[in-house]
Homo-oligomer: A and B are copies of this chain.
């Protein structure tokens, strides 16, 4: 409620690092909502929308689709009543996030091993394959 004074779509796009068309696209997809109380005929956004767009871009890099990101953004508690519902959905997302972390740690371990094995001639060269890192029971 402070300084959402003059955030037109162009300025929002700029500070969020996307194009104007992308903002409108996210609006159509229901990821950000059109500001209700407009003075004049142009949109005026609160600053939190910039955070939201940056969140979207980051989450995409982590392998979430826009549909999934929308679900993440809906995880906001407004009243105690809806809490159980939200907690439940949050826990699902949490386990997805943890699965990704686990997989990325395997990939990291594999890459570290690869880098190390170049310095050390004792390590067999062809055993260092990144593609093995997700196989069940894999230990590099």
Contact = CB atoms under 8 A, between A and B. Distances in A.
B94 A134 contact: no
A111 B93 contact: yes
A126 interface: yes
Please classify how large the interface on chain A is, using the bins under 10, 10 to 19, 20 to 34, 35 or more. Answer: 35 or more
Interface string A114-132: 1101100100011011111
A90 interface: yes
Contacts of A129: 76
A77 B121 contact: no
A91 to B, nearest CB: 6
Interface stretch (A3-11, A36-44, A60-68): A60-68
Nearest to A48: B131
Given A87-B115, A93-B111, A73 B131 contact: yes
